[in-house]
Structure 1
Amino acid sequence: MKENSFIESFIESYTLKHEESFAIFDHYGNIDISKNNEEGVYYEGTRFLSYWKFYLFDKNPILLSSAVKEDNSLLTVDLTNPDIIKNGEIIIPKGNIHILRSKFLYENCCYEKIHLKNFFLLPVELELNFYFNNDFADIFEVRGYKRKRKGKFFPVEVKKDKIKFIYEGLDNIIRETIVSFNPPPENIFSTKATYKVKLNPKESFTFYLTVKCLIEKQNLTKCSYKKAFYYIKRRVKDWENKSCKIYTSNEQFNQWLKRSWADIVMLTTSTEYGVYPYAGIPWFNTVFGRDGIITALECLWINPSIAKGTLAFLAHHQAKEFNPEQDAEPGKIIHEIRKGEMARTGEIPYSKYYGSVDATPLFVILASKYFERTGDIDFIKSIWKNIVLAISWIDNYGDVDGDGFVEYFPSKKGLTNKGWKDSEDSIFYEDGTLVKPPVALVEVQGYVYKAKREASKLARILGEKELASKWEKSAEKIKELIEEKFWCDEMNCYVLALDGDKKQCKVRASNAGHLLFTKAITPSKARILASLFFEKHFFSGWGIRTLSSLEVRYNPLSYHNGSVWPHDNALIAFGLSLYGFKEEAMKILKALFEASTFFRLHRIPELFCGFERRPNEGPTYYPVACHPQAWSAGAVFLILQGCLGLSFEKNEIIFKHPMLPQFLEELWIKDLAVKNGKVDLYLKRYGNDVVVNIIKKEGEVKIFVEK
């Protein structure tokens, strides 16, 4: 990637996604990997088009504007002509031809409509040239992985209305990219197509391009631009109809809410087990266990179907046997699934990889919270064996040395660190030396505590009293061990981790804040953390850093050692709310909201740099961060839930000490559904008090407000 290209990508690129496909374009609607290596049309982990350039005659058109619709459905690019010169004479002055490019993705196809209109006083003859090329690069190649060899590229096939690129990978799979034109162009070659158009004054002309991504033995579906776009809009409408809607008196905050939810909808992918939120674009457009679970938790009160689909998918793919190559052990929840050529050949170990140490307890937590939200006991019964198996993994395989904690060893081919901070340098001692395994992360013990507490609740509901009692006692023992082994008086904080000798990694990190989310610590210790995280060395002004600036490895430019992660902040903020620290939670909400106003489209990225906030400046972009990223998009909903003290029990909607920040005076919640009804609510802030009013109610719904 060229120097500074990541900044160009972050600021000026546009992303589209549908199901297993995604595409990244520049602001002209073009693809040119020499300028931004991430651009392309991708399908199932492979780039199916790496060059797509449009010229008017031999010139770049003039860009007027470009934008992705608020619902992420469509990219539109408005262009006009530069001066068109022939034999030294201007034959079409600039700004007389309007060119509108409209693009969207549907299933495994990218659709484009090009609409031309002549506003010149005279007839014009235009030449439009489109150039294409392909590298069939695996997503890991795009990220920088150097392969020893590639598969076979076949000669490009050309017909009067299409160009076909063909590649056979080292996995012996044929992949094809078919670029189709309607109507057929005047001239067509292996990498170029030319239209010649005559337009009278005020006359228009429209034509279509379609890029189809095909993998061997998959059916070629035929669908027109108009019909495919209808399906896309209907999908957006269906999501709107089955989800809770939120609107506030702050229009900028509304823009953040709308973009965040649009990103969740865009990233959520249909599977045979239900919908699943893919992690992020471009690097993580696939199933990640931990990311999917946390995203589902963040959005649970908005739309529980995301949690149901996530749980069903993960239950089906739960490990049933040992496989050291995959880090699989019975009961373990998957970390990552990849479908590209390099995964199929084993060049990377992630075709089906179980490296996460935390996805398994988080799976149990989500299952219980889904039941609490919906009362769907039939679904819980259908995955009960998976919940029991997950707890069994925690007890029998997660605790590798029998000390009561869940730990991990590095993988030979996979991850070195297996918590959410999974970069190689993220877990270390206070002197900066990397940790000696096996490693027990502080937040993972909190997840295990909460998993057993939540599993115990479900067991009681299902009549499994012995299991319920056993897990309850085990949870309390874990809580005692966390206090005994992870608290450090010297730091006045919980340490980052324990090493293989049970030595503390005396490092102040945001990981400890996840103990608030799991309610694994006492109110007095929660109060200490509530103060600590807002000291200058932790709080950047844009959010809580992953690592205190007092630590040896602190680096605001790093991936995990000093940056700001929105999902990390959301879990901490929600945890603060659970302990009654609403003012602190609202401070995080305010910081992330203000950060969102500096990011294009109000889209909060995967992470950003942890530099101290400077007057009249926004947060600093992080190189190659995913945007959109599902658990970043979901952060606002979880923090807002925490501030409102919102919870559910059967057909009851409960607000516990609801609060709103100063920048939100009013809040409307529409179609908030419970098992037997739904309700529209209006919330109004009066100082530190929030009044909840029922606007409309259908079915059996009860509202309780605890002040």
Structure 2
Amino acid sequence: MKLPQVSILEGITFVVSDMRGDIAPDPDEPTGLFYRDVRHLSRWQVRLNGNQLDALSGEEVEYDEAVFFLVEPTGTIYRNPTVSLLRRRHVGDGMRETLELTSHSTTPLTLELSILFAADFADIFEIKDRLQKTGRSYRRVGPGDVTMVYERGAFRRETVVRAANAFFTEESATFRITLQPRQTWRTEVEVGVATERVRPVVKRIPEPNMPYAMQEWIDAAPRLDTGWDDLRRVYQRSLVDLAALRFYPDSVPDSSLPAAGLPWFMALFGRDSLITSYQALPFVPEMCRTTLRALAAQQATALDDFRDAEPGKILHELRQGELVHFGERPQSPYYGTADATPLFLIVLDEYERWTGDRETVQALEGAARAALTWMERYGDLDGDGFIEYLSRNPETGLRIQCWKDSWNSIVYPDGTPAPLPHATCEIQGYAYDARRRMARLARECWEDMTLAERLERDADALRKRFHETFWLPDEGFYALARDGHGRPVPTLASNIGHLLWSGIVPDENVDQVVEHLMGENLFSGWGVRTVAAGQRAYNPMEYHNGTVWPHDNALIAMGLTRYGRHTEAARLAEVMLEAAPYFQHRLPEALIGTDRAATGVPVAYTAACSPQAWASGTPLLLLRSMMGLEPRRDGLGVDGHVPLRCGHLALSGIPGWWGRVDAFSLGTVAT
């Protein structure tokens, strides 16, 4: 039986081990020390006199630190261990591990402690797709270290293991130790990582690779006070995880951005970073500014079929591993997403509304205009006014380019995949909202009244055309998508909740949409399912066809709030936040969609990322929804509709163009 995993991270460097602290060779699992999308340690195992130790405990104590307490195996409950090993691990630019071996014996002991190591230098995609390496590997043994090297053409990675007073072979470091009774022996082992551009370094004292240390990050965020103790812990966990996920992209080295999620998505993702920044805006606005600037710096300027690039398009992901280096996956940055570009415009406007930072809006005017042009010229494939997607790279490009990007996520109710190209409903809502918001910026920041008036006309026309095309009057909800033959895909899915968030739903349809969202087929008791039960396409354990995603629900809650459906929004926020304490107060990427009454407890999706950026940002957006926080011309607006179980919600020091203000709301909503 496999032991539970323990993960620690700092930006795009992370370690996944078992609760002994060991990393076992496993080509199919993302265990190991990873740096810039490559596994730099695929084996890291401690042995005492050749034997594996037993774990009494093993867990993270900080986002970048884990502690493991091990004892020698005795083989029987009638004999107590006489030796214990404490492993304290830090991750930063590489990894540092402190070993403390203690004798509990009454007689001297002669022991041999070994670390067995290996580096397969697997690209994260090679692990996911079970691909073999094609380059060459070799090792160099020095007097106090071993260097493991992988080379393939100009691509090069190194892992260096260093320790004092160790006997090194190509695969191990061994310490020969004599312990007196009650004596403790200590040593440090360092693991440096390097690329062709970065030399191997391990910091003696781990420090965050970001402009603000952890405590500064926490101190800069508003202070939460509430009568719901678990919510306080969830809030703190969210801030810590968002800080841990920050990293510096090479393209904008002075900007810290959130990586999407551990272990598979420790990289910049356009959609994920934008939604996370939007969620965190009232709490840590700096993340939003740097995300906008970094994505603008990588905005596509030319057509490139292999990378799905078109002028004005915002990237989907930015990878740094071997496969993208050699073009065996679309080279970085890859632009295969249809929603990141309108989301960029939405978040740019929201950022200005909160911060009043017109300097950034002026600096990004060109990027915003290019994004608008992409929506009109390239995003609309057939000139019908809707944004559709169809990969320019059918061999290795993404087939599905909305947030539900599984191959089978856009399906008819019977589970049959809809033919491409797709115009998914929520992207049309984003495009409507983006036009409305850019009209405001054009009028108030860029002094372009002609553009503002045109965008408002275009938004109104899109809203009318969308309702005529996507509304299903017999079902009382909007189609999930329009397929490649122009037919509606009449699947009931959570995407309709995003339409409330965007404001594209006319008032006369709101009641029916909300009824479906909070009805028994979509609402599981822990949140809104991605696909409603009662359809053949539904599977509560399918990644996008029946699971419950926290960020999805947070956007739906904001949509409900927008239309004044405060009781439903409060209920959604409450059940979502109730799930977090079951996962050490950290919401996972997704929950299975089985009814709450059936399980009694929330169950994480099998391969859910944790921490994951927009799941970490979800509690922040739910707090905003419950307190009704909105930036206004006269300052911060507060219109609280808080569940009774909170008692009260108070946020002190909410940042914005007004400086810092406090907000308070009593729990008044019976959910």
TM-score category (smaller protein): over 0.9
Q: CA 1:660–1:279 in 2, change beyond 3 Å: closer, same or farther? A: same
* Matched residue, 1:437: 420
Indicate yes or no: 2:373 matched with 1:381: no
Quick check: 1:306 aligned with 2:287? yes
The answer to whether the 8 Å contact 2:28/2:130 transfers is no
| 1:243 paired residue among 212, 221, 235 | 221
Matched, 1:211 2:203: no
- 392-401 or 644-653: which moved more? 644-653
Residue 64 of structure 2, aligned match among 69, 73, 77: 73
Match of 1:612 in 2: 595
Q: Pick from 438, 460, 463: which aligns with 1:476?
A: 460
| Partner in structure 2 of residue 704 of structure 1 | none
Does structure 1 conserve the Cα–Cα contact (< 8 Å) formed by 2:192 and 2:202? no
Give the C-alpha shift of residue 461 in structure 1.
0.9
Instruction: From 331, 345, 354, give the equivalent of 2:326.
Output: 345
Q: Provide Cα deviations, 1:400-455, integer angstroms capped at 9, x if missing partner.
A: 11111111124412111111111111112344332222221100000000000010
Inter-partner Cα distance in structure 1 for 2:27 and 2:195: 28
Quick check: 2:92–2:202 contact (8 Å CA) kept in 1?
A: no
Where in structure 2 are the equivalents of 1:120-139 lying within 5 Å?
Answer: 120-139=105-124
Say whether 1:533 aligns with 2:513: no
| C-alpha displacement of 1:229 | 5.1
Which residues in structure 2 correspond to 1:190-589 (within 5 Å)? 190-221=170-201, 223-224=203-204, 227-228=205-206, 235-271=213-249, 272-410=253-391, 411-412=393-394, 413-462=396-445, 463-589=447-573
Structure 2 CA distance, aligned partners of 1:234 and 1:635?
22
Are the counterparts in 2 of residues 73 and 232 from structure 1 also a CA contact under 8 Å?
no
Name the residue aligned to 1:692: none
Aligned pair partner of 1:669 in 651, 655, 662: 651
AA matched with 1:15: S
Note the 1:35-46 alignment, pairs <5 A. 37-46=29-38
Q: Structure 1: which amino acid aligns with 2:155?
A: I
Q: CA deviation at 1:350?
A: 4.5
Q: 1:580: Cα distance to partner?
A: 1.3
Give the Cα–Cα distance (whole angstroms) in 1 for the partners of residues 104 and 210 of structure 2.
32
Per-residue deviation, 1:36: 7.2
- Per the alignment, do residues 245 and 33 of structure 1 end up closer, same or farther by CA in structure 2, a change over 3 Å counting? farther
- Does the CA-based 8 Å contact 2:569-2:626 persist in structure 1? yes
Counterparts of 1:89-168 in structure 2 under 5 Å? 94-107=80-93, 109-147=94-132, 150-154=134-138, 156-168=139-151
Which range moves more in the overlay, 344-353 or 292-301? 344-353
Could you say which residue in structure 2 is the equivalent of 1:633?
616
User: TM-score, with normalisation over the residues of structure 2?
Assistant: 0.94
Distance between the aligned counterparts of 1:519 and 1:234, measured in 2?
36
Q: Is the 8 A contact 1:96 1:120 kept in 2?
A: yes
Taking the aligned partners of 1:423 and 1:528, their CA distance within structure 2 comes to 28
Task: Measure the CA separation in 2 of the matches of 1:231 and 1:20.
Answer: 10
C-alpha separation between the residues in 1 aligned to 2:384 and 2:599?
Answer: 51
For residues 599 and 301 of structure 2, what CA distance do their matches in structure 1 show? 54
Alpha-carbon distance between aligned partners in 2 of 1:532 and 1:359, rounded to the nearest angstrom = 27
Query: What is the deviation of 1:651?
Result: 6.7
Distance in 2 (CA, whole Å) between partners of 1:222 and 1:586 is 46
% of aligned pairs identical?
Answer: 32
The worse-fitting range, judged by mean Cα deviation, of 317-326 and 121-130 is 121-130
Q: Give the equivalent residue in structure 2 for 1:699.
A: none
Among candidates 626, 634, 638, match of residue 655 of structure 1: 638
Is 1:603 matched up with 2:594?
no
Are 2:27 and 2:127, in contact at CA under 8 Å, matched by a contact in 1? Answer: no
| Whole-angstrom distance in 1 between the partners of 2:634 and 2:92 | 38
Q: 1:590 to 1:270 in 2, by over 3 A?
A: same
Unaligned runs of 5+ in 1: 690-707
Give, in whole Å, the separation in 2 of the partners of 1:577 and 1:529: 14
Q: 1:594 aligns with which of 578, 585, 592?
A: 578
Contact conserved, 1:100 with 1:115, CA < 8 A, in 2?
yes
SS in 2 for 1:117: strand
Kept in 1: contact 2:208–2:214 (CA 8 A): no
| Structure 1 letter corresponding to 2:344 | F
Q: Which has the larger displacement, 27-36 or 375-384?
A: 27-36
Cα deviation 1:462-521 (Å, max 9, x = unaligned): 211111111111111111112111100121100001123321111111111100111111
Partner of 2:629: 646
Q: CA deviation at 1:203?
A: 2.7
Q: Deviations over 1:74-121 (max 9, x none)?
A: 111122333499xxxx9x9634433221111112x1111112333433
> Is 581-590 or 455-464 further displaced after alignment?
581-590
User: How far apart are the structure 2 equivalents of 1:396 and 1:173?
Assistant: 37
The 1-side partners of 2:29 and 2:554 are apart by 31
CA distance in 2, matches of 1:201, 1:247: 50
Query: What amino acid sits opposite 2:589 in the alignment?
Result: E
User: 1:436 and 1:61, CA in 2 relative to 1: closer, same or farther beyond 3 A?
Assistant: closer
- Give deviations 1:613-670, integer Å, cap 9, x for gaps: 23563233322221111011111111221111101235711112x0221221133323
Superposed displacement of residue 146, structure 1: 2.6
Question: Hey, what does 1:703 align to over in structure 2?
Answer: none
Q: Distance in 2 between matches of 1:472 and 1:326?
A: 32
- Tell me, what secondary structure is at the counterpart of 1:572? helix
* Distance change (3 Å), C-alpha of 1:34 and 1:316: closer
State the partner residue of 1:189. 169
Determine which of 21, 44, 48 is the counterpart of 1:52. Answer: 44
Q: In structure 2, what is the Cα distance between the partners aligned to 1:431 and 1:223?
A: 55
1:64 maps to which residue?
Answer: 56
CA distance in 2 between partners of 1:232 and 1:429 (Å): 45
Verify the 8 A CA contact 2:356 2:657 in the aligned structure 1.
Answer: yes
- Residue aligning to 2:13: 21
Q: TM-score, normalising length from structure 1?
A: 0.90
Q: Contact between 1:80 and 1:94, CA under 8 Å: does it hold in 2?
A: no
Which whole-Å CA distance do the structure 1 matches of 2:259 and 2:248 have between them?
10
Distance 1:36 1:667 in 2: 45
Does the 8 Å CA contact 2:10/2:209 hold for their aligned counterparts? no
1:82 and 1:303, CA in 2 relative to 1: closer, same or farther beyond 3 A? Answer: same
Deviates more, 1:587-596 or 1:633-642: 587-596
Asked if structure 2 preserves the Cα contact closer than 8 Å seen for 1:373 and 1:650, the reply is: no
Q: Which residue of 1 aligns with 2:73?
A: 82
How much does 1:273 deviate? 4.9
Rounded Cα–Cα distance in structure 2 between residues aligned with 1:681 and 1:645: 10
Q: Aligned equivalents of 2:463 and 2:254: distance in 1? A: 35
Partner Cα separation in structure 1 for residue 56 and residue 95 of structure 2: 23
Tell me how large the CA RMSD over aligned residues is. 2.3
Instruction: List alignment gaps of at least 5 residues for structure 2.
Output: none
CA contact (8 A) 1:299 1:637 kept: yes
Q: CA, structure 1 residues 444+232, in 2 after alignment: closer, same or farther (shift >3 Å)? A: closer
